[in-house]
Structure 1
Amino acid sequence: MAEAVGPDPQYDVFADEFLDHARDGLYNAHYDRPACLELLGDVAGLSVLDVACGPGLYAEELVARGAQVRGLDISPRMVELARERVPDAEFCVHDIAKRLDWLPDDSVDLVLFALAIEYVDDRISALRELRRVLRPGGALVLSRQHPTGDWIRQGGNYFDVRVIEEVWSRGWRLRYWLAPLEHTCEELREAGFLIERLVEPRPTAQAAGIDLQTYEKLSREPTGFIAIRALPDPRR
């Protein structure tokens, strides 16, 4: 397999099914979203750029908390769903691998980049662009699959940075990058960020009522996600 994910909007073909899955599902509603929202903090009155916004589930909560949200996604259908779900936010179809030429420097307070960096081939360039549009004092909140969980599932050399193709439980076929934790941290540094916090989330108590086995597994094993809050490095 070529060492690239490519620009194909992979989630477009199952966008509606993903919305049904992620709206109240354990991994999204009771694991990643709470962790990312906690790292974003109080968003009232702030401008938030929701990168890889999907069907608007994060944006919906951010708007409810008083944020002014702009979202982007490479999937046209995801953007349609987001617009239907969150009419008070702005959404556009955009590939994060390309320059955000519709946003000036220092124009947003916060950037959310949830569970999508592994689909980007040139991650440093994308992160640098997010650094460009962040205002001084702003923050990037990024989540990704836990690299230890990836390694346990895929095997091989943990430190190899490589593209894999996987079929998920619902039959969704996806290509994405595997990378060790130090690689993600180094890419953030190269892009001009300093890591303020790194958390290994635990599922919420409500998750136990959805799937007790998964709840207990995620509560004791590093097989789910990680979330990072990073700040623009003032020295760069």
Structure 2
Amino acid sequence: MVEVVGSDPQYDRFADEFAEHARDGLYNAHYDRPACLDLLGPVAGRRVLDVACGPGLYAEELVRRGASVIGLDHSPRMVELSRQRVPAGEFRVHDLADPLDWLPDASVDLVLFALAVEYVDDRVAALRELRRVLRPDGALVLSRLHPTGDWLRHGGNYFEPRIVEEVWSRGWRVRFWLMPLERTCEELHEAGFLVERLREPRPAAEAAHLDPTAHARLLREPVGFLAIRAVPDPRR
């Protein structure tokens, strides 16, 4: 039997609590969001697809910077929260197991896929759809749990993709894929992307007061996230 994460919208159960936590929390507001926004570059006047948009925190900043945002999430409650937070955006419920048949080819300038690839079973198919809707001169910015941090927590064979379940600090139970960095890069390659940049971000200095212990650890150990900017391979 092949392991799958499945199509359950896990974050729907704690969407409101997550929105409150992620708005100003160390890991989201002062670590992942700045890294992803930096890799996206200038967005004014550009059409951005926010994949797994969550409660609209990235979309809110993108719109503030002048972007036109289309968002999708598997959680109906997350989509509702995004619509409330970012009235200027367009948001819909969508499972990444399904094609983006509501978006034409080459119809977006940038794609943001933050902290959600671990929940997708057929990642190559999903990435191919993102490649299809992205303009040839566009870019995909993807962030994910740092695979070294995953391995330090769970042990086992680092190179063997497998599904794990964790209960996070607020009692949120999540089920997701552990994957080596090589697998993520190969899946991007299979989907028609070239990795342009890879970042192992450090948290913002001004956020140290939020959680001094976690902040200090993120400055010295690969236990948080990483972020990749990939571009369509013109040869394919």
TM-score (normalizing by structure 1): 0.99
- The residue matched to 1:14 in structure 2 has which SS? helix
Looking at structure 2, the residues matched to 2 and 192 of structure 1 have their Cα atoms a distance apart, in angstroms, of 25
Deviation at 1:2, TM superposition (A): 5.6
Q: 1:28 is matched with which residue?
A: 28
Looking at structure 2, the residues matched to 29 and 104 of structure 1 have their Cα atoms a distance apart, in angstroms, of 32
Amino acid at match of 1:75: S
Q: 2:80 is matched with which residue?
A: 80
- The residue matched to 1:163 in structure 2 has which SS? strand
Percent of aligned pairs sharing the same letter? 77
Q: 2:216 is matched with which residue?
A: 216
- The residue matched to 1:101 in structure 2 has which SS? coil
Structure 1 residue 138 corresponds to structure 2 residue 138 = yes
Looking at structure 2, the residues matched to 93 and 168 of structure 1 have their Cα atoms a distance apart, in angstroms, of 25
Looking at structure 2, the residues matched to 53 and 133 of structure 1 have their Cα atoms a distance apart, in angstroms, of 17
Q: How many residues align?
A: 236
Q: 1:19 is matched with which residue?
A: 19
Q: 1:200 is matched with which residue?
A: 200
Looking at structure 2, the residues matched to 59 and 49 of structure 1 have their Cα atoms a distance apart, in angstroms, of 9
Looking at structure 2, the residues matched to 154 and 67 of structure 1 have their Cα atoms a distance apart, in angstroms, of 39
Q: 1:183 is matched with which residue?
A: 183
Q: 2:44 is matched with which residue?
A: 44
Superposed CA offset, 1:164-216 (max 9, x none): 11111110011000000000000000000000000000000122121111111
Unaligned runs of 5+ in 2: none
Looking at structure 2, the residues matched to 106 and 168 of structure 1 have their Cα atoms a distance apart, in angstroms, of 38
Q: 2:170 is matched with which residue?
A: 170
Q: 1:151 is matched with which residue?
A: 151
Looking at structure 1, the residues matched to 60 and 72 of structure 2 have their Cα atoms a distance apart, in angstroms, of 14
Looking at structure 1, the residues matched to 201 and 137 of structure 2 have their Cα atoms a distance apart, in angstroms, of 25
Q: 1:66 is matched with which residue?
A: 66
Unaligned runs of 5+ in 1: none
Deviation at 1:105, TM superposition (A): 0.2
TM-score (normalizing by structure 2): 0.99
Superposed CA offset, 1:65-100 (max 9, x none): 000000000000000000000000000000111100
Looking at structure 1, the residues matched to 16 and 190 of structure 2 have their Cα atoms a distance apart, in angstroms, of 36
Looking at structure 2, the residues matched to 88 and 163 of structure 1 have their Cα atoms a distance apart, in angstroms, of 37
Q: 2:57 is matched with which residue?
A: 57
Structure 1 residue 7 corresponds to structure 2 residue 16 = no
